């Protein structure tokens, strides 16, 4: 690292702390906390920029080292978001380093082959789906994870040296906690088998789900034993598909400093089973999902799947869901009636109207108004996700301002 790179990182750290110290950050934390305590004062608004292509262009980065380049990207992206979008982002008064964990394979190799589109992007991809027959299930092996404490501490100490007394650095946790049972089921057996095995090979399907369930339980228990968990209710991390996990509902009342699974949020979803009937979903998938989530304090449920046709069954088996994703494919009125004030209504607007060459503001206004008509009396948040490519950044703030004007806040 040369002096120019060090100076750039220190300048970014200074701006990060200036933003974190703004009074609006404390007010946003208070309002996010009220929302996730089910006492929301207004609909909260957040636009996800982490996956937005070239939100910070590679040419803007000055660091050559891969690790420091990632740190610079995070600094620049968070600062730009806080300065430009005008939503309810919370910038924490520190920079977080997560533990380096090595992930073994399942005994079979999962490979993703990406396709390059006309603009050089690689968003589209397919998997090799190595479990092709019921006999292949026997190839799955229990996994053992490894934490590289030395490399983690070296990275932590390097940032301490760079940031000095400008920006505190904390070594904390592993990043977002995600269960993803049916996601890895799809990667392993493919969509055709996922559908057909419910009829033709139910024992094989249950065997893979039991394997994945046991795998997740072993992983999360390992994190707890090794002291690698970090509290995720303080706003430094997005939970679920999501929003800051700010709440007074965590950690548990007997928390004594060592973080346990029951002290944290976890994300559970099942997009891959949307074409499965609610009855089959309850038979083949939900019991395993409920078994894993039972270990955790609070659950953020869902992503892009519709849940209105199976919500009653889900909440009966996973009663500690605090927030649920209401995708464009959800029946909003049904879900608003089911949730009331008991679970956060986490609305995901349609991505396409803002992604077109010319944004369809009429469609975006209608989308917002439809949500407000259905869920104005719920604990409501708007989380704009899955926008990967847009022509200009200005429309992010335009959307945020439009939502606020419709809400009346």
Q: Tally the residues of the chain.
A: 409
Three-class secondary structure of residue 117 per DSSP: coil
Q: How many CA atoms lie within 13 A of 82 on its CB side?
A: 22
Q: Give me the mean pLDDT over the 355-369 stretch.
A: 95
Residue where the block lists tokens 């968003």: 123
Q: How far apart are CA 73 and CA 365, in angstroms?
A: 32
What total number of domains does the chain contain?
Answer: 1
Q: Give me the mean pLDDT over the 43-53 stretch.
A: 94
CA distances from 213 to 146, 209, 280, 292 (A): 20, 6, 18, 7
pLDDT interval class at 122 (50, 70, 90) = confident
Residue 220: the pLDDT is 98
Q: How many CA atoms lie within 13 A of 290 on its CB side?
A: 14
Cβ neighbours for 150, distance < 8 A, ≥ 6 positions apart? none
Three-class secondary structure of residue 239 per DSSP: strand
Q: How far apart are CA 78 and CA 106, in angstroms?
A: 35
CATH number at residue 199: 3.20.20.210
The answer to whether the CB of 162 falls within 8 A of the CB of 193 is no
DSSP classification of residue 244: E
| Residue 409 in this model has a pLDDT that exceeds 60 | no
Dump pLDDT digits (tens) for 235-285.
778 899 888 999 999 999 999 999 999 999 999 999 999 999 999 999 999
| Residue 175 in this model has a pLDDT that exceeds 90 | no
Three-class secondary structure of residue 104 per DSSP: coil
DSSP classification of residue 138: G
Dump pLDDT digits (tens) for 180-212.
999 999 999 999 999 999 999 999 999 999 999
Residue 237: the pLDDT is 83
For residue 384, which of 321, 319, 327 has the smallest C-alpha distance? 327
Q: Which two tokens stand for residue 224?
A: 């707890």
Diameter of the chain measured on Cα atoms: 64
Phi, psi of 371 (to 5 degrees): -65, -45
Residue 107: the pLDDT is 96
| Residue 123 in this model has a pLDDT that exceeds 90 | no
- Cα 187 versus chain centre, distance: 19
Dump pLDDT digits (tens) for 59-92.
999 999 999 999 999 999 999 999 999 999 999 9
Question: Which residues does residue 298 pair with via DSSP β-bridges, in sequence order?
Answer: 265
Residue 236: the pLDDT is 75
Question: Which residues does residue 326 pair with via DSSP β-bridges, in sequence order?
Answer: 347
For residue 59, which of 38, 73, 42 has the smallest C-alpha distance? 73
List, in sequence order, every beta strand (DSSP E) within 327-379.
Answer: 344-347
Helices and strands counted in the chain (H then E):
13, 14
Q: How far apart are CA 28 and CA 236, in angstroms?
A: 13
Question: Which residues does residue 383 pair with via DSSP β-bridges, in sequence order?
Answer: 46
Whole-number percent of the chain with pLDDT over 70: 100
| Residue 18 in this model has a pLDDT that exceeds 70 | yes
Could you please report the per-residue DSSP string of 27-78?
A: HHHHHHHHHHTT--SS-EEEE--TTSTTSS-GGG----SHHHHHHHHHHHHH
Q: Which two tokens stand for residue 271?
A: 């997009």
Three-class secondary structure of residue 79 per DSSP: helix
Dump pLDDT digits (tens) for 283-337.
999 999 999 999 999 999 999 999 999 999 999 999 999 999 999 999 999 999 9
Residue 251: the pLDDT is 97
Q: How far apart are CA 143 and CA 261, in angstroms?
A: 20
pLDDT, averaged across the chain = 95
**Range of the structural domain that residue 194 is part of:** 3-407
């Amino acid at each position: 690292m040369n002096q120019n790179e060090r100076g750039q990182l220190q300048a970014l750290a200074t701006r990060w702390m200036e933003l974190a110290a703004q009074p609006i950050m404390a007010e946003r934390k208070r309002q996010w906390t009220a929302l996730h305590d089910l006492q929301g004062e207004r609909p909260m608004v957040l636009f996800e920029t982490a996956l937005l292509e070239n939100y910070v262009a590679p040419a803007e980065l000055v660091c050559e080292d891969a690790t420091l380049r990632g740190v610079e990207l995070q600094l620049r992206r968070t600062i730009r978001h806080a300065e430009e979008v005008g939503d309810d982002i919370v910038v924490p008064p520190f920079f977080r380093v997560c533990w380096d964990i090595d992930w073994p394979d399942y005994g079979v190799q999962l490979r993703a082959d990406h396709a390059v589109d006309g603009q050089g992007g690689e968003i589209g991809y397919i998997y090799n789906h190595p479990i092709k027959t019921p006999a292949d299930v026997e190839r799955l092996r229990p996994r053992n994870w490894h934490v590289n404490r030395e490399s983690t501490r070296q990275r932590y100490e390097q940032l301490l040296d760079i940031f000095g007394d400008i920006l505190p650095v904390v070594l904390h946790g592993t990043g977002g906690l995600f269960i993803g049972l049916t996601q890895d089921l799809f990667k392993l057996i493919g969509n055709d088998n996922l559908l057909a095995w419910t009829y033709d090979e139910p024992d094989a399907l249950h065997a893979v789900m039991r394997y994945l369930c046991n795998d997740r339980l072993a992983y999360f228990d390992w994190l707890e034993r090794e002291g690698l968990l970090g509290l995720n209710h303080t706003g430094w991390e997005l939970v679920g598909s999501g929003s800051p996990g700010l709440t007074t509902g965590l950690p548990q009342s007997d928390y004594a400093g060592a973080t346990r699974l029951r002290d944290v949020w976890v994300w559970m979803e099942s997009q891959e089973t949307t074409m499965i009937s609610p009855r089959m979903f309850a038979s083949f998938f939900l019991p395993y999902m409920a078994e894993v989530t039972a270990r955790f304090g609070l659950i953020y449920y869902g992503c892009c799947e519709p849940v209105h046709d199976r919500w009653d069954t889900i909440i009966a088996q996973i009663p500690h869901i605090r927030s649920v994703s209401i995708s464009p494919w959800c029946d909003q009125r049904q879900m608003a009636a089911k949730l009331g004030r008991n679970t956060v209504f986490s609305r995901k607007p349609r991505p396409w109207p803002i992604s077109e060459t010319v944004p369809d503001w009429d469609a975006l206004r209608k989308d917002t108004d439809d949500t407000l008509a259905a869920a104005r009396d719920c604990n409501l948040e708007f989380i704009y996700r899955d926008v990967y490519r847009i022509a200009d950044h200005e429309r992010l703030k335009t959307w945020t301002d439009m939502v606020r004007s419709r809400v009346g806040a």
